[in-house]
Amino acid sequence: MLDSIRPARSSDLEALLSLEAASFSGDRLSRRSFRRWLKHEHCVFLVAEDANALLAYVLVILRRGTRLARLYSIAVNPVARGRGLAKALLQQAERTARGNGALYMRLEVATGNTAGIALYEGMGYRPFGLYRDYYDDHGDAIRMEKCIHAYSKAESSRSIPWFPQSTAFTCGPASLMMGLAALDGSYTPDHAEEIQIWREATTIFMTSGHGGCHPLGLALAAARRGYGAEVIVNQVGPLFLEGVRDSNKKRVMTLVHEGFVAEAQTLGVTTSYRGLDQQELIDEFNAGASVLVLISTYRLDRKKAPHWVVLSGSDERCLFLQDPAYEIDLEHESGAESLNALDYQHLPIAREDFAAMSRFGGTRLQAAVILKRKARKSA
């Protein structure tokens, strides 16, 4: 008889390893990985036990700064299957994740796991994607999602190709390439283009690291490639100067800014000096534009860095974002890289959180780049 569902403890490590070995022939979590998650603050890690043994566990990751939770792993000892443990654990995990502010739960399940698919569908999860060659045995995975808050979901979204940045300073180029690929199926992002766009769009200096990408610089890079581009920014004059102390660096950044302004007039890139309006950005997206937005990463990683992302949809509670800042921050074990990449795609950000995230620095800088399709040439 089941005694309890409770949070996992460090003392459960050996039992968890035994349970993992009994439950899976491949794609197992390692001792190191279990140790990490047992200490991790941004996850829900629960176990089910009876008087004699630990019977099952569920591990859900909470993506900081978003309203997204993701089922990372769930296991039930074969001798305890058929008792409803997986459903009970997942229901409790949903409640706990909801209590931590999550609005959506996502998961992946093998296409051949008919019992698992039936369980998730019965609990309200719906398919929204497929990943080929996902598991150690080269099997495919169905991606499923559930709104774990009880409200009607009326989402507006479309497929925005995801492209991860390859350096710490090229979020702008990676976002621009995602935006262009969404507008033009013949446009293919690559890392050589990523660096070329950075060279075109950078401010040269920003804070203590590599130059950041100016919204006008990104818009001009799009215009040179034949796309329409408009910039919305709430400040007139050079951007990002508050993070720079060196007077010569400020002088260079000012010259770069002035050059961008002059070229924008030549290439027909318009700039509107005003704050961002969420509904306007959503309306532009719904009309077919690609929308790049500058955010502060503080709510995501506590680093207070400027960062470019791409709008990928909206509903009554959230804006959804494609985040190029893919990092291998899980274990370098089988499947970890693929699993982590999923956490950067179509991220739900509550509207009130987005309002705070879309202001950078002490000057509360707001900026967006609106990209439009190439104009058709007349015959």
Domain extents in the chain: 2-150, 171-372
Six-digit token pair at 70? Answer: 């993701």
Least trusted range by pLDDT, from 175-184, 324-333, 364-373? 324-333
Specify the pLDDT at position 219.
98
pLDDT at 340 over 70: no
pLDDT at 249 over 90: no
Instruction: Average the pLDDT over 238-262 and give the result.
Output: 90
Q: How many CB atoms lie within 10 A of CB 5?
A: 18
Six-digit token pair at 142? Answer: 């169905």
What's the CATH number for 2-150?
Answer: 3.40.630.30
Mean residue pLDDT across the chain:
88
Give the confidence band of 65 by pLDDT, cuts at 50, 70, 90: confident
Compute the distance between CA of residue 63 and CA of residue 361 in angstroms, rounded to an integer: 23
Instruction: Average the pLDDT over 260-274 and give the result.
Output: 96
Compute the distance between CA of residue 335 and CA of residue 338 in angstroms, rounded to an integer: 5
Number of C-alpha atoms within 13 angstroms, CB side, residue 7?
11
Which bin fits 88, alpha (ψ -120 to 50), beta or left (φ > 0)? alpha
Give the confidence band of 207 by pLDDT, cuts at 50, 70, 90: low
Give the confidence band of 209 by pLDDT, cuts at 50, 70, 90: low
Six-digit token pair at 339? Answer: 């699993």
Contact in structure between 326 and 300 (CB atoms under 8 Å): no
Compute the distance between CA of residue 63 and CA of residue 65 in angstroms, rounded to an integer: 6
Q: At what angle do helices 85-99 and 114-122 cross, to 10 degrees?
A: 50
- Nearest alpha carbon to residue 204 among 166, 236, 244: 244
Cβ neighbours for 315, distance < 8 A, ≥ 6 positions apart: 153, 154, 155, 156
Give the confidence band of 338 by pLDDT, cuts at 50, 70, 90: very low
Place of tokens 């991606």: 143
User: Torsion angle of alpha carbons 46, 51, 56, 57, nearest 10°?
Assistant: 20
pLDDT at 348 over 80: yes
Q: How many CB atoms lie within 10 A of CB 271?
A: 16
Specify the pLDDT at position 171.
94
Burial class (CB in 10 A: 0-12, 13-18, 19+), 175: buried
Six-digit token pair at 199? Answer: 């060279």
Between the two ends of the chain, the Cα-to-Cα distance in Å is: 77
Compute the distance between CA of residue 222 and CA of residue 217 in angstroms, rounded to an integer: 9
What are the residue ranges of helices labelled H in 135-228?
171-183, 191-201, 215-224
* pLDDT tens sequence across 143-165: 999 989 754 445 567 789 999 99
Specify the pLDDT at position 325.
87
Specify the pLDDT at position 128.
84
The residue type at 163: F
* pTM (2 d.p.): 0.80
Compute the distance between CA of residue 341 and CA of residue 1 in angstroms, rounded to an integer: 39
What are the residue ranges of helices labelled H in 268-350?
278-286, 298-301, 336-342
Instruction: Average the pLDDT over 83-104 and give the result.
Output: 94
Query: Cα angle at 227 between 221 and 229, to 5 degrees?
Result: 70
Q: How many CB atoms lie within 10 A of CB 17?
A: 15
Six-digit token pair at 145? Answer: 């999602």
Burial class (CB in 10 A: 0-12, 13-18, 19+), 91: middle
Compute the distance between CA of residue 72 and CA of residue 61 in angstroms, rounded to an integer: 6
Number of C-alpha atoms within 13 angstroms, CB side, residue 23?
22
Q: How many CB atoms lie within 10 A of CB 256?
A: 21
User: Which range, 82-96, 242-256, 303-317, is most confident?
Assistant: 82-96
Place of tokens 């318009």: 270
Instruction: Average the pLDDT over 305-334 and give the result.
Output: 78
Instruction: Average the pLDDT over 19-44 and give the result.
Output: 92
DSSP tag of 71 = E
Specify the pLDDT at position 330.
39
The residue among 178 and 26 whose pLDDT is bigger is 178
CATH class of the domain comprising 171-372: alpha beta
* Share above pLDDT 90 across residues of the chain, in percent, rounded to a whole number: 68
Six-digit token pair at 304? Answer: 């207070």
Specify the pLDDT at position 337.
39
